[in-house]
Chains A and B, each alone.
Chain A
């Protein structure tokens, strides 16, 4: 079977990490999101993946050219000026033969286990269009679907919060016949309209997904995704070339080739240390921390539930908690992220000009790619540092303009 994976969206709400990469290139648990998706597709028996790319596609192209994707043939389709999900789907039409079926996957969603095989199986029971559905905490963001005892989707409400509804939503995975392209064309490339048409004809079937599911919309979702994948780890794996002296390791910790772990480091799994990274003396790496490739973590720092992209430097004596640090960033010594407001309220964060309630009680900072944070800075809960931004050292002596 073939798959159609949509990876061309702009993902603006993922700022400050979206300006230099498409969402599927965000690293979680040591690999890019797209790698996790392709692996799950391969495990389902998919042999051909048509990947629709657009926004910042060079990064994705370069990554896939270097990656090991044996058993799966990947065709890249440039969505060009095509708009929206429907446009991206239509852009790939020529990759399919009439009478075929395909798995349609939104690459910025992530499921706790293999959602694709569940969807395909449900598809096998009706041989008709099938949509995976799931229950989420934030039902207001997605269409609310109604299902009958025969698992047919009978209705879809687009603004469920207004109507006071909370139910199953579309999970971004579909099994569709190629005739769906015709539906989509008739609906002028509007995905929702095309789906509504299928629902009106009573021909869209549901596959209920009860395991974990995530739509990667906001920067803090990176931490959830990282945890979702790390929670599946059951064993530690340390590359045989890695030398450990006086290191304490608990739980499933993965340490890659060429990593240098200095004496006195404590690693509490699940945690990940990427290829060629350096971890300084007496550093504490707490659960759900992912340090990418080529990073430096200075002496005596503490990292907790955080994702550090490749090639970043975190100086000595830092505390990085519930935070995401972009690629090639430099965080000066003694920098602290505060991850908990004293009033115990849910933390708010600004995406562009919109302030969003994250619903989280603990959240640190988000530092964009290439940013430089000077020494001794203190970053507020939910703060966003723009890509390539420079925050000066926080110098208390000599005071500015005098002694």
Chain B
């Protein structure tokens, strides 16, 4: 996802343009740029890698003169994060410049043809073909509008495009197909943008462009025409109430819920990561002494991975919290430190990697943000491709890390010979059932979980209990509860109960038990005995379990039954259910969900 914007006025617009893409940064923020027409035959382009504020200062965006301009903020999915790949892109003669959001699926064919005709490409992006294509048609018709339409007709895929040209300095040309683009009508300027947020501070009047239409926007007028017939289209001007925060959240009330709902897609991305990459990392974990590290949520994810490596991978790696890493680590050249971090900038984890390097260990990382410090410094890297995670609490990125580490552990098992290739494939197939099962959990169980969260929202103390791989899930889920709802929750192994904790149980102390599936009989029975112990002391107890044959045991006060799925995926679904429990508790208690007090997204300090 990327954000595009354009502003056209009679006076200088650079600052407004920068503000527009700043407002779109939630759509992506790894590189950005602006292009401006200002009387010269060449369009001026300034762009670089980094977030808008940073690049704008470095490249002095605001000092660009001109009253017609376009801008872009990027979140790379394909193609590296480099200055060349940043938008806007210009034609050979620098008389056209475009920004684009979407994917041009026939770009390779077009690029080959245009290269043959003498066009010089500077980037690896699909976007660049658009601008060369327009330039090509312009040579024939000498009309910017005709060239623009002719070029669009050749494009396949999805796109929202804004274009400026020095041949028509008082116009912005734009078009969309399945990617968002709207026109904003201000008093002294008009706007085009991926959404309302870009220009909400200047106007609330907007006009929508539909698929199959293009628009030509001037500072005081706009026209929308059909691509097929060229006929003008009459479109209602809407004036809407607008809360730019809510719009950035795609209409969801909070980023947290949005990101929870993105998990089916994110799991698929994690499962689609190239097998060769997983195998390389798995080989390293087998050849070396593996140490997993992360902090906060990612530490619990590494603990989960520890169980997966132990159960399927044939060896039990160390899992160290990265803030304590230097106090515990005794590494050597045979060690492999595998770090997990959403931002790739976590101070404690970066420090752990530095300590590891100083002790001559190899390093690897699973990171979500491309181009981050960790991504640049480790010997071996897997990018999650989970998309930007804005909520301070990690939900989708954490689930993705669990999936990736499970894949690595299974592969390690195959390499060590502890499990067969066939078994590993069967487990991978189980994982493929997760996206659908999450969708069903979200869409069929939210109401029940909401009701439970509301009814129990007066409780200030919770125990989150689990055994085996369900234990790290319990710890991570307890952390979510603490972070977002400010309610005290402790994650611990159920086995700890009788060694002290059970003394706490009364009607003011609730428990959640992450139940294993019945086929793990011994584990199931052990977990049930913990439940009985709590029940006997009059404590409220919530069970989170898969739907299985027979009724859920009556001893629970409440049960969240997850949709039928292979038993292997139970912990992943339980984590999603627990996310919703924390979320709805926080909603009921009216907490600041996306920015909990005292917390920051990427902890870059000691």
Q: Is the CB of A166 within 8 A of B252?
A: no
Nearest chain B CB to A128's CB is how many angstroms away? 9
Given contacts A135-B446, A206-B251, contact A146 B439 (CB under 8 A): yes
Given contacts A139-B447, A147-B261, A168-B447, contact A125 B250 (CB under 8 A): yes
Q: Which of B121-129, B163-171, B233-241, B534-542 contacts A (4 or more CB under 8 A)?
A: B233-241
CB neighbours (8 Å) of B569 from chain A are none
CB neighbours (8 Å) of B447 from chain A are 135-136, 139, 144, 165-168
Nearest chain A CB to B73's CB is how many angstroms away? 18
- Tell me the bound Cα distance from A106 to B286 in angstroms: 63
Given contacts A44-B241, A139-B447, contact A148 B251 (CB under 8 A): no
Q: Which of B240, B262, B439 contacts A124 (CB 8 A)?
A: B240
Interface residues of B in 231-265 (CB under 8 A from A): 234, 236, 238-243, 246-247, 250-253, 257-258, 261-262, 264-265
Nearest chain A CB to B582's CB is how many angstroms away? 15
Q: Is the CB of A120 within 8 A of B251?
A: no
Q: What 1/0 flags go to B554-569 for Cβ under 8 Å of A? A: 0000000100000000
- Tell me the bound Cα distance from A147 to B450 in angstroms: 16
Q: Is the CB of A135 within 8 A of B444?
A: no
Interface residues of A in 31-48 (CB under 8 A from B): 44-45
Q: Which of A125, A164, A165, A206 contacts B196 (CB 8 A)?
A: A125
- Tell me the bound Cα distance from A148 to B262 in angstroms: 8
Q: Which of A135, A146, A150 contacts B250 (CB 8 A)?
A: A150
- Tell me the bound Cα distance from A337 to B594 in angstroms: 47
CB neighbours (8 Å) of A58 from chain B are none
- Tell me the bound Cα distance from A45 to B242 in angstroms: 12
Nearest chain A CB to B442's CB is how many angstroms away? 8
Q: Is the CB of A121 within 8 A of B587?
A: no
CB neighbours (8 Å) of A44 from chain B are 241
- Tell me the bound Cα distance from A207 to B239 in angstroms: 18
Most chain B CB within a 10 A radius of its CB, from A125, A149, A165, A205: A149
Q: Is the CB of B443 within 8 A of A121?
A: no
Given contacts A125-B196, A167-B443, A167-B447, contact A149 B262 (CB under 8 A): yes
Most chain B CB within a 10 A radius of its CB, from A123, A136, A148: A148
- Tell me the bound Cα distance from A347 to B450 in angstroms: 24
Q: Which of B234, B444, B587 contacts A166 (CB 8 A)?
A: B444
Q: Is the CB of A149 within 8 A of B241?
A: no
- Tell me the bound Cα distance from A139 to B449 in angstroms: 12
- Tell me the bound Cα distance from A125 to B444 in angstroms: 26
Q: Which of B252, B439, B446 contacts A168 (CB 8 A)?
A: B446
Q: Is the CB of A167 within 8 A of B261?
A: no
CB neighbours (8 Å) of A122 from chain B are 251
Q: Is the CB of A125 within 8 A of B195?
A: yes
B265 nearest CB neighbor, chain A only = A149
Q: Is the CB of B240 within 8 A of A120?
A: yes
Q: Is A117 an interface residue (CB 8 A)?
A: yes
Interface residues of A in 87-124 (CB under 8 A from B): 99-101, 117-118, 120-124
Q: What 1/0 flags go to B406-441 for Cβ under 8 Å of A? A: 000000000000000000000000000000000100
- Tell me the bound Cα distance from A151 to B443 in angstroms: 12
Q: Is B83 an interface residue (CB 8 A)?
A: no
- Tell me the bound Cα distance from A123 to B242 in angstroms: 10
Q: Is B595 an interface residue (CB 8 A)?
A: no
Given contacts A44-B241, A210-B253, contact A146 B247 (CB under 8 A): no
Q: What 1/0 flags go to B258-281 for Cβ under 8 Å of A? A: 100110110000000000000000
Q: Is the CB of A45 within 8 A of B241?
A: yes
- Tell me the bound Cα distance from A239 to B449 in angstroms: 46
Q: What 1/0 flags go to A42-61 for Cβ under 8 Å of B? A: 00110000000000000000
CB neighbours (8 Å) of B234 from chain A are 99
Q: Is the CB of B446 within 8 A of A166?
A: yes
CB neighbours (8 Å) of B240 from chain A are 120-121, 123-124
Q: Is the CB of A101 within 8 A of B261?
A: no
- Tell me the bound Cα distance from A165 to B262 in angstroms: 21
- Tell me the bound Cα distance from A208 to B442 in angstroms: 14
Q: What 1/0 flags go to A189-223 for Cβ under 8 Å of B? A: 00000000000000001111010000000000000
- Tell me the bound Cα distance from A166 to B562 in angstroms: 12
Interface residues of A in 152-172 (CB under 8 A from B): 154-155, 163-168
Q: Is the CB of B246 within 8 A of A121?
A: yes
Q: Is the CB of A146 within 8 A of B443?
A: yes
- Tell me the bound Cα distance from A139 to B444 in angstroms: 11
A45 nearest CB neighbor, chain B only = B241
B445 nearest CB neighbor, chain A only = A166
Q: Is B448 an interface residue (CB 8 A)?
A: yes
Q: Is the CB of A124 within 8 A of B451?
A: no
Q: Is B206 an interface residue (CB 8 A)?
A: yes
Q: Is A70 an interface residue (CB 8 A)?
A: no
Q: Which of B247, B264, B444 contacts A144 (CB 8 A)?
A: B444
- Tell me the bound Cα distance from A135 to B454 in angstroms: 11
Q: Is A127 an interface residue (CB 8 A)?
A: yes
Q: Which of B241, B257, B264, B445 contacts A121 (CB 8 A)?
A: B241
- Tell me the bound Cα distance from A380 to B422 in angstroms: 68
Q: Is A137 an interface residue (CB 8 A)?
A: yes
Q: Which of A139, A145, A165, A210 contacts B587 (CB 8 A)?
A: A210
Interface residues of A in 283-311 (CB under 8 A from B): none
Q: Is B486 an interface residue (CB 8 A)?
A: no
Nearest chain A CB to B258's CB is how many angstroms away? 7
Q: Is B572 an interface residue (CB 8 A)?
A: no
Q: Is B347 an interface residue (CB 8 A)?
A: no
Q: Is the CB of B252 within 8 A of A124?
A: no
- Tell me the bound Cα distance from A136 to B584 in angstroms: 13
Q: Which of A118, A139, A149, A205 contacts B264 (CB 8 A)?
A: A149
- Tell me the bound Cα distance from A165 to B234 in angstroms: 44
Q: Is B208 an interface residue (CB 8 A)?
A: yes
Q: Supply 17 A–B pairs (Cβ within 8 Å), ascending by A.
A: A45-B239, A121-B240, A121-B246, A122-B251, A124-B238, A124-B247, A125-B247, A125-B250, A144-B443, A149-B262, A166-B445, A167-B443, A167-B446, A168-B446, A205-B251, A206-B251, A208-B253
B interface residue numbers (CB < 8 A to A) = 195-196, 206, 208, 210, 234, 236, 238-243, 246-247, 250-253, 257-258, 261-262, 264-265, 439, 442-448, 450-451, 561, 587
Supply 5 further A-B pairs (C-beta < 8 A) apart from A124-B247, A166-B448: A121-B243, A135-B446, A149-B258, A165-B445, A166-B450
User: 7 nearest interchain CB pairs?
Assistant: A166-B447, A146-B443, A124-B240, A166-B448, A117-B241, A127-B208, A149-B261
